[in-house]
């Protein structure tokens, strides 16, 4: 009888040893794998990234173009992680995000912003650096270029840490070159209030609601990649000609002074 009991206990012990016991890993970190392989190294030479979570977790790093094919692995808390990657912001990055100094135009930024639910042992996020700026070329026709200043005014002065446009005064002033052209880089807009003012040397002589013109063309400021714009202002025959780069159509608007 004793031998039978010992045999039974031995078999039970072997069965228990063969069973898997689930381990509670909720307190363990998640391996977040950032995949930069889709980023075009001919456009983006390097990318800074910022990871954050609601529990106060923050991690920052940088990746050079030569390493875009190598995954970046970071241990993060098992919760929602905000992933922000930026290129082209220069010295305009601060605690609040990207701020455009008063009097300057927007830096040519490329950005990726996403929320990743890191609730497993590992998760992969493909980073897509989007063109988050619009380069506007303005051509002045029929005016003395040497005495004309063009002033762009708007209500977006950069981007917050969440990658969204931040509210603030945007003012950029420039004199056209010998050919009558200026180039200005605009941040992503949130409304149609963008204005172009013409200073003839004695003060503002003309004002153009170019935000309304751009909106009338069907331009989408929420597009993942912003198109560039060409704006021809012809004072002699009083019209504005708007061209969206990559589109086949031009948009003509009569000037209302």
Overall pTM surpassing 0.85 (yes/no) = no
* H or E segment to which residue 3 belongs: helix 2-18
Distance CA 86, CA 84 (A): 7
Res 26: pLDDT: 60
Res 230: pLDDT: 95
23 token code pair? 């381990």
Complete DSSP assignment for 12-35: HHHHHHHS------TTS-EEEEEE
Res 14: pLDDT: 41
Res 7: pLDDT: 34
CA angle 236, 240, 245 (to 5 degrees): 135
Burial category of 102 from C-beta neighbours within 10 Å (exposed 0-12, middle 13-18, buried 19 and up): exposed
CA angle 76, 77, 80 (to 5 degrees): 100
Closest to 232 in 3D by CA, of 242, 221, 222: 242
Give pLDDT < 70 ranges for the chain. 1-26, 143-147, 235-238, 255-257
5 token code pair? 């009991």
138 token code pair? 């303005």
**Residue pair 120/30 in contact by the 8 Å Cβ criterion:** yes
What φ, ψ does residue 214 adopt, rounded to 5°? -65, -45
Res 229: pLDDT: 96
* H or E segment to which residue 214 belongs: helix 210-216
Res 237: pLDDT: 55
Res 9: pLDDT: 36
What φ, ψ does residue 152 adopt, rounded to 5°? -100, 130
**Residue pair 133/107 in contact by the 8 Å Cβ criterion:** yes
Distance CA 238, CA 247 (A): 24
Res 170: pLDDT: 98
Res 202: pLDDT: 80
């Amino acid at each position: 009888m004793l031998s039978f009991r010992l045999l039974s206990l031995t078999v039970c012990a072997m069965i228990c040893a063969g069973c898997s016991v689930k381990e509670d890993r909720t307190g363990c970190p998640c391996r977040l794998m950032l995949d930069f392989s889709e980023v075009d190294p001919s456009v983006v030479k390097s990318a800074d990234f910022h990871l954050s979570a609601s529990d106060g977790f923050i991690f920052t790093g940088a990746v050079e173009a030569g390493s875009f094919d190598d995954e970046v692995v970071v241990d993060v808390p098992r919760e929602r992680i905000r992933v922000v990657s930026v290129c082209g912001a220069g010295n305009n990055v601060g605690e609040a995000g990207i701020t455009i100094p008063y009097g300057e135009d927007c830096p040519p930024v490329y950005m990726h912003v996403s929320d990743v639910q890191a609730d497993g042992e590992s998760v992969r996020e493909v980073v897509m650096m989007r063109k988050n700026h619009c380069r506007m070329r303005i051509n002045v026709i029929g005016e003395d270029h040497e005495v004309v200043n063009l002033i762009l005014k708007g209500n977006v002065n950069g981007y917050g840490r969440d990658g969204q446009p931040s509210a603030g005064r945007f003012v950029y002033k420039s004199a056209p070159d010998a050919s009558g052209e200026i180039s200005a880089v605009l941040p992503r807009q949130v409304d149609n209030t963008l204005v172009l003012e013409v200073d003839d040397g004695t003060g503002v002589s003309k004002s153009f609601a170019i935000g309304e013109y751009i909106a009338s063309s069907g331009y989408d400021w929420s597009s993942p990649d912003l198109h560039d714009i060409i704006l021809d202002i012809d004072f002699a025959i009083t019209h504005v000609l708007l061209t969206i780069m990559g589109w086949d159509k031009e948009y003509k608007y009569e000037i209302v002074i």
